[in-house]
Structure 1
Amino acid sequence: MEYISTRGQVAPIGFIDAILMGLANDGGLLVPKYIPQLSADTLQSWSKLSYSELALEIFSLYVNNEIPRDELKKLVDDSYATFRDEAVTPVKRLTEGTYVLELFHGPTFAFKDIALQFLGNLYGYVSRKTNSIIHILGATSGDTGASAIEGVRGKEGIRICILHPHGKVSQVQELQMTTVNDANVLNLSVEGTFDDCQRIIKELFADVEFKHRYHLRAINSINIARILAQTVYYFYAYFQLPQEAQAAKVNFSVPTGNFGDIFAGYLAQKMGLPINKLILATNENNILERFVKEGVYQPGEFRGTYSPSMDIQVASNFERYLFYLYGEDAAAVTAIMAQFKAEGRVVIPADKLAAVQADFAAYGVQNEECLDTISDYHAQVGYLLDPHTACGVAAADKLASAGEVTVALSTAHPAKFDESIRLRGIAQTYPEQIQALFEKPQFQKVVGGSNEAIKDELVTFF
């Protein structure tokens, strides 16, 4: 498999070069040169596999022979051996037509562990095999940072710097990052929003000379390995459903702010997984909902919500979807992104909007509606949703039709967002690993939200 840029100015490259490049050198995002097509027989043969076995089959399609199969198997097995549930991503039934896919059984209790345990091991593998330096630079709205740090902390040949918006992540999310005191970890608390952090990351990676001089590698979902790893659990969730549920139309409702998780579902669907609807669940930062409903992509006023990991206006993976929406026309994508950079707004024509609405349904969940969903499901079925999962479930309740089955992605353990859950008078017991965080000292530095401020820190650290 080779990888190409959504903007068409990078020669096709292999899998390892793609994960090392992260953001394409022309400013675009890397995508596979073609999407493998799966037969019904293949899906049937995969349906009995364990999570690790399934991940190995899917990764093999995209890695080809760059990593020998036995070595790839070890990377996969090591990555998912750290999960607390034997199924890795178990599916639980909420109501007759609604299930949750629990993605929070990894080391940091968030769905990001599923991709980042693998990517961390993959970076370690590449560093050892090529005797190369890996300097990871990432931004987080809360969960990516802790998962990325956990994936590479203490690993020889790897250093990691994570930016997070100062005062705009949950207490547990902050503690998971900043109580790590390994020498190869730097946490920067940036004065601004996650969009500021993400903009800085993309602009530093677009500075190709700086990127190469300091050996910068991407951990955010601009890295194609993140997307590929996340496609696995769509297949696995579908295979876990009862036969009668699989016989119905199966939707996935995905809490999303950066478009990465739902793009992984879109990729799984394009590969041949029989997904009926991809429901895009947002919060009050609802730029993506407006795009699906009106064809207008334009950031609005930033709103702090009870689901802070989705408090994002500019979705970094949106460009990958545009590439497929416009028939893999790199020139068209380049023009659209240039327009967005110049005007801060993109409006697509009616025929493209019809195609978007065939691919996705969307619903923006209001703050109180999010809390209502948490309290309603806790009272009625005894299941505690975190605020992001609650957005996915609320969107499923709103948009799924009678007779359909909907799997809502549960992206984080509720203990990570206790501040929000306590607002409805619900008490929970922290897992032991999270409770222990409150006794540890923190290590972070507050910095200004400019490229130069971050560069100064990176030059010293790397």
Structure 2
Amino acid sequence: MKYMSTRGKVKGINFQDAVLMGLADDGGLLIPEEIPFMSINEIEALKDKSYQELALAIMKKYISDIGETTLEKIVFKSYEAFDDERVVPVIKLGDFYLSELFHGPTYAFKDVALQFLGNLFEYILDQRNDYLNIIGATSGDTGSAAIYGVRGKKGIKIFILHPKGRVSRMQELQMTTVLDDNVFNIAVEGTFDDCQYIVKEIFSDVEFKREHHLGSINSINWARVLAQIVYYFYSYFQTDAADSMSKVNIVVPTGNFGNILAGFYAKRMGLPINKLVIATNENNILYRFVKEGDYSIKNVVQTYSPSMDIQIASNFERFLFYLFEEDADKVRKSMEQLKVEKKIFFNDELMEKVREVFDATSTSNERNLEVIKEIYEKYKYIVDPHTACGIDAVLKLKNIYDEPFIAMSTAHPAKFIDSVVKAIGVKPEIPRGLRELEDKEKRVYELDANVNLVKKFIEKNL
């Protein structure tokens, strides 16, 4: 399997080089040159595998430059730190399923991919006797998961940008209490989109990127999307639909389009998915896109679900590549249009294609708390505000579609205590790994939202 850029100027690179490159050198995102399709019989043959066995079976289809024995060791090592042997347990709440993606070391879905990516980086760098300086932006969960994935690892330094005051207290503590010498937390005066813009601009400076051996842990890194494809298959296999290999709808709370993009690849691979439902909060650019063909950037609104407080969905470019029938020139022109005009135009024909795959909902801040309360009162089960956006989508759509629903639960409710208490008046049980954070020493660097300032900070600390 070889990889290419969505913008067409980078082609024929192997998986390990794609992992280290992160953002393609032409400014695009790296994707597999083909998506491996599986028949229903092939998919059904995987349904009794453990999570790790399933991950190995799927990842092998995308990785041809790492031996199977080595890949197996990397995969199994990546899920040792999870507090449930199933890695991603699936429960049933009434008439829908909930896939708990938060059993990793930082209690968020990002761990599923970033534990794998951290071990992957370590293996590749050791084989090449090389080093890597990782730079990434976070709206809350990516940062802590990335830091826990690479902290203390040989040959790696990590620089994480987060919007100052715009992540939850627990998310901030998870990042800033990691004092390993190779970890640098940067609080940026601005929004997550400002942080993401800085990272993309730095990666667009190819000379700076190569000189300083920069790599990415954001979901612009293909390995993150690949690792997330696995739990779509695994979650499906835990439902009754798997007995007859019939279709399901899958709801994904998303702001950056990375998580649901993995579902898109799973569907393209043959997994029986009817609709992928994009669940947004009030920062609803993806909802407006699906419902109205309106992909225009507006101001970011602070909500109870801060990891989704995003207007520029960085993984959207990968989907555009397929929407535009793999026309890299169209992708490049659309991304240039977005940068200049703050919007992309879509005709009715394209939107029909979009709606064959996706549906979408948007949840208000007030409704978010109502959903947390409804679920608690009905099932005595506590969900975080991001998951609540997904459950709201299920409640809105379950009478429209015949197929059963799986909602992706993306974070442990203890990471968002204030919102949960506001909704139900009860504190969720706090895992030991989170309880210990308040008393730990903290380290963080504050910078203005300026590309050159961040570049200078990186150079100073290499």
When normalised by structure 1's length, the TM-score is 0.98
Map of 1:265 onto structure 2: 263
SS at match of 1:190: strand
- Counterpart contact for 1:258–1:312, Cα < 8 Å: yes
For residues 416 and 108 of structure 2, the distance between their equivalents in structure 1, rounded to whole angstroms, comes to 11
Identify if the C-alpha distance between structure 1 residues 373 and 245 changes in structure 2 by more than 3 Å, giving closer, same or farther: farther
SS at match of 1:163: strand
Give 2:89's aligned amino acid: P
Give 1:398 deviation, angstroms.
0.8
* 2:200 corresponds to 1:207: no
* Larger mean Cα displacement after TM superposition, 401-410 or 332-341: 401-410
- Counterpart contact for 2:236–2:242, Cα < 8 Å: no
The unaligned stretches of length 5 or more in structure 1 are: none
* 2:28 corresponds to 1:46: no
- Counterpart contact for 2:40–2:245, Cα < 8 Å: no
| Pairing 1:260-299 to 2, within 5 Å after superposition | 260-299=258-297
For residues 431 and 121 of structure 1, the distance between their equivalents in structure 2, rounded to whole angstroms, comes to 24
Give CA-to-partner distance per residue, 1:179-226, whole Å, 9 cap, x none.
011000000000000000000001100100000011000000000000
Give 2:80's aligned amino acid: A
Give 1:301 deviation, angstroms.
2.1
Map of 1:251 onto structure 2: 249
Give CA-to-partner distance per residue, 1:78-98, whole Å, 9 cap, x none.
0011110011001000112x1
Identify if the C-alpha distance between structure 1 residues 221 and 246 changes in structure 2 by more than 3 Å, giving closer, same or farther: farther
Map of 2:411 onto structure 1: 412
| Pairing 1:362-401 to 2, within 5 Å after superposition | 362-400=360-398, 401=400
Map of 1:361 onto structure 2: 359
- Counterpart contact for 2:290–2:354, Cα < 8 Å: yes
Map of 1:165 onto structure 2: 163
Map of 1:336 onto structure 2: 334
| Pairing 1:128-147 to 2, within 5 Å after superposition | 128-147=126-145
Give 2:336's aligned amino acid: A
For residues 270 and 458 of structure 1, the distance between their equivalents in structure 2, rounded to whole angstroms, comes to 39
For residues 403 and 7 of structure 1, the distance between their equivalents in structure 2, rounded to whole angstroms, comes to 38
| Pairing 1:89-100 to 2, within 5 Å after superposition | 89-96=88-95, 98-100=96-98
SS at match of 1:61: coil
Identify if the C-alpha distance between structure 1 residues 245 and 41 changes in structure 2 by more than 3 Å, giving closer, same or farther: closer
Give 1:178 deviation, angstroms.
0.3
For residues 298 and 170 of structure 1, the distance between their equivalents in structure 2, rounded to whole angstroms, comes to 27
Map of 2:31 onto structure 1: 31
SS at match of 1:276: strand
* 2:439 corresponds to 1:439: yes
For residues 254 and 402 of structure 1, the distance between their equivalents in structure 2, rounded to whole angstroms, comes to 16
For residues 171 and 188 of structure 2, the distance between their equivalents in structure 1, rounded to whole angstroms, comes to 15
* 2:64 corresponds to 1:78: no
Map of 2:452 onto structure 1: 452
For residues 39 and 421 of structure 1, the distance between their equivalents in structure 2, rounded to whole angstroms, comes to 43
- Counterpart contact for 1:361–1:399, Cα < 8 Å: no
Give CA-to-partner distance per residue, 1:37-60, whole Å, 9 cap, x none.
101221111001000000001110
Give 2:234's aligned amino acid: Y
| Pairing 1:311-322 to 2, within 5 Å after superposition | 311-322=309-320
Give 1:443 deviation, angstroms.
0.4
SS at match of 1:238: helix
Give 1:157's aligned amino acid: G
* 2:461 corresponds to 1:461: yes
- Counterpart contact for 1:283–1:310, Cα < 8 Å: yes
Identify if the C-alpha distance between structure 1 residues 69 and 267 changes in structure 2 by more than 3 Å, giving closer, same or farther: same
SS at match of 1:447: strand
Give 1:410's aligned amino acid: S
Give CA-to-partner distance per residue, 1:281-329, whole Å, 9 cap, x none.
0000001100001112111121000000000000000000000001011
SS at match of 1:147: helix
- Counterpart contact for 2:37–2:269, Cα < 8 Å: yes
For residues 349 and 193 of structure 2, the distance between their equivalents in structure 1, rounded to whole angstroms, comes to 30
Give 1:242 deviation, angstroms.
2.4
Map of 2:114 onto structure 1: 116
The unaligned stretches of length 5 or more in structure 2 are: none
For residues 216 and 113 of structure 1, the distance between their equivalents in structure 2, rounded to whole angstroms, comes to 21
Give 1:244 deviation, angstroms.
7.5
Give CA-to-partner distance per residue, 1:155-189, whole Å, 9 cap, x none.
11111110000000000000000001100000000
Identify if the C-alpha distance between structure 1 residues 372 and 329 changes in structure 2 by more than 3 Å, giving closer, same or farther: same
Give 1:11 deviation, angstroms.
2.6
* 2:233 corresponds to 1:235: yes
Give 1:214's aligned amino acid: H
When normalised by structure 2's length, the TM-score is 0.98
* Larger mean Cα displacement after TM superposition, 37-46 or 302-311: 37-46
Give 1:243 deviation, angstroms.
4.8
Map of 1:192 onto structure 2: 190
Give 1:245 deviation, angstroms.
7.5
Map of 2:428 onto structure 1: 428
- CA RMSD in angstroms comes to 1.0
Give 1:92's aligned amino acid: I
- Counterpart contact for 1:248–1:403, Cα < 8 Å: no
For residues 196 and 361 of structure 1, the distance between their equivalents in structure 2, rounded to whole angstroms, comes to 28
SS at match of 2:175: helix
